[in-house]
Amino acid sequence: MLYDRRSTLSGYVAGLLSTGRTTFTSDEAEQALGVGHGAFLDAAERLQRRKALFNPRQGFYVVVPPQFASWGAPPPAWYIDTLMYREGPAYYVGLLKAAELHGATHQAVMEFQIVTERRLPRIRAGRSMIVFYFRKDMEAVTMGIEDRKTDTGAMKVSSAALTALDLLRYPQASGGMDNVATVLSDLRRKIDPKQLAALSKVVARPVVQRLGYLLDHLGDGELTGPMQESLWARGPLPWTELDRQEAKDPDFTPELLQRDARWRIVARRLPQVDA
């Protein structure tokens, strides 16, 4: 796209929108407009004050269409793939946000949750908060990462099977065990048993044990049979707590313990599923 060197940044931004593009870098704009970095920053700051531009990371800008001006930024799904490509690490949209995309919508998701192989600071994106969760074994779970179309392109999203496992891997991000059970009550219908079994071979065993126990609690034997075979094939299972936070709570006394031999789970109470 060519621009007259007398064009303004607002004209450049409008031109991008007209072609369906919503992101650009400072280097791209400076080259297209023939201006220096200082002049660009001044113009970008004016557009940001007018809520026409959003700057989630240094040197990276997102155009804010008029319909999202009151939000301060368009939905993260519009630009997350481009942003993460520029950041560098592999990623996927996961946890409660992915569950919502798969149809588990018991609660409104307040965070746009990203799992990535690098530790990154969160981003305030208008009404949204983009929060990053670290995973060092990203290559091991690539079978559970899907491409999902968005209004402006595509983004990486965890499959229903990987999402279910991640809800138990990151319980603090998942709203606690009751919320996990509630989300699973919807999500389980979308889970591929073969993929769940395959992922159960590479994900940390306590995570698989907790998910298997909850799926049994929800009455999903079709899913738990293959994943249990994959789990026990890895060797003898140690006992593990269903909820490590409850294990530290003095209100959950030893008299309340329930032991599930199939999954080698110690449960101090049954999670409650919201209707």
Could you tell me the domains of the chain?
Answer: 9-69 (1.10.10), 77-267 (no CATH)
Q: What are the φ/ψ torsions at residue 196 (nearest 5 degrees)?
A: -60, -40
Query: What residues contact residue 213 under an 8 Å CB cut-off, 6+ apart?
Result: 242, 260, 262, 263, 265, 267
DSSP 6-29: T--HHHHHHHHHHTT--EEEHHHH
The number of helices, as runs of H, and strands, as runs of E, in the chain is 11, 12
Orientation of helix 37-49 relative to helix 9-18, angle to 10°: 70
The pLDDT, as a whole number, for residue 2 is 44
Q: Whole-number mean pLDDT of the chain?
A: 91
Q: What's this model's pTM, rounded to 2 decimal places?
A: 0.91
Handedness of CA 212, 96, 134, 156 (dihedral sign): positive
C-alpha span between 160 and 256 (Å, rounded): 32
State pLDDT tens for residues 28-48. Answer: 999 999 999 999 999 999 999
- Give the residue-averaged pLDDT of 108-128: 93
Residue 185: phi and psi, rounded to 5, are -60, -30
